Amino acid sequence: MKFGVVIFPGSNCDEDLIYTFETILGQEVVRLWHKDTDLQGVDFVLVPGGFSYGDYLRSGAIARFSPIMESVIEHCNNGGYAMGICNGFQILCEAGLLPGTLLHNTNHKFICKNVYLKPATRSTICTAALDSDEVLNIPIAHGEGRYYASQEVLKQLNENQQVIFRYCDKDGVFNKESNPNGSLENIAGVCNEGKNVFGMMPHPERAADEWLRNTDGRKIFDSILASVAVAK
């Protein structure tokens, strides 16, 4: 499977993703420069975290109109896989590839800490190989991560099992205290209706290397690899 990591001016988790997929997971990875339009035949596009275009105007708003994104949108509309992490999630929402949007955290602070989350469905490749009761400890680092969508969209997300992760406490209970940013219904990640485009605020690539003594994030990537191999 060939992965492509998109690099915008201001991306800062691109190398972490490349290291995780290339060195730790042994996959073929190419860099996709924001000014290019050629996806180089990748099967899976990864949109990294960071502060693309300085987060000017709104997070992800300007990145969404860069040349590479036209190709990413086409790839996704043709059923190709894509995953956005943190700023990548914001960009995919701005591009209309994922439902909803991400607002300033309720406390209006940049929050950088480890949080707990749990898969909300096993119907996606990101979560298929996870234990549905398994609590993952994964870091977040964002100022604008409060997931919001209209009630109508939210209802649709729940009915179609498009919520992929929710924040919870260490025992796996979803409650207000374990919601770090004020996201609706503790939502930490969602996918599109076709379940080929994913977005999440927590950073699994920052919890994938044994040297960091936390490899909970790797489980999500392992799930993707295992599911896609089966799908083929």
Partner 1 sequence: MEFTAAIDIMPLDALLDPQGKAVTSSMSNLGLSEITNVRIGKHITLKVTAASKAEAEQKVDEACKKLLANQIMEKYSFTIEALAEA
Between 57 and 112, whose beta carbon lies closer to partner 1? Answer: 57
Q: Which is nearer to partner 1, 152 or 171 (CB)?
A: 152
205 is catalytic: yes
Amino acid (1-letter code) at residue 1: M
Our finding on whether 182 is near partner 1 (CB under 8 A) is: yes
- From 13, 76, 86, 168, the catalytic residue: 86
Please choose, from the candidates 114, 72, 113, the residue with its C-alpha nearest in 3D space to the C-alpha of residue 95: 72
Q: Is 203 a catalytic residue?
A: yes
Interface with partner 1 includes 148 (CB under 8 A)? yes
3-state secondary structure of 103: strand
> Is 76 among the residues known to form the active site?
no
CA–CA separation, 181 vs 160, rounded Å?
24
Among the listed residues 77, 132, 150, 175, the single contact to partner 1 using CB under 8 A: 150
Instruction: Candidates 95, 115, 149, 157: give the one binding partner 1 (CB under 8 A).
Output: 149
Supply 125's token pair.
């490749």
Q: What are phi and psi of 115, to 5 degrees?
A: -130, 170
Burial of 132 (0-12, 13-18, 19+ CB in 10 A): exposed
* Site size toward partner 1, by CB under 8 A: 18
CA distance 172 to 88: 26
Q: Does 225 interact with partner 1 (rule: CB under 8 A)? A: no
Q: Which of residues 108-127 bind partner 1 (CB under 8 A)?
A: 108
Distance separating alpha carbons of residues 52 and 12, to the nearest angstrom: 9
Give me the active site residues, please.
Answer: 86, 203, 205
Binding residues (CB under 8 A) for partner 1: these are: 57-58, 61-62, 65, 94, 100-101, 103-108, 148-150, 182
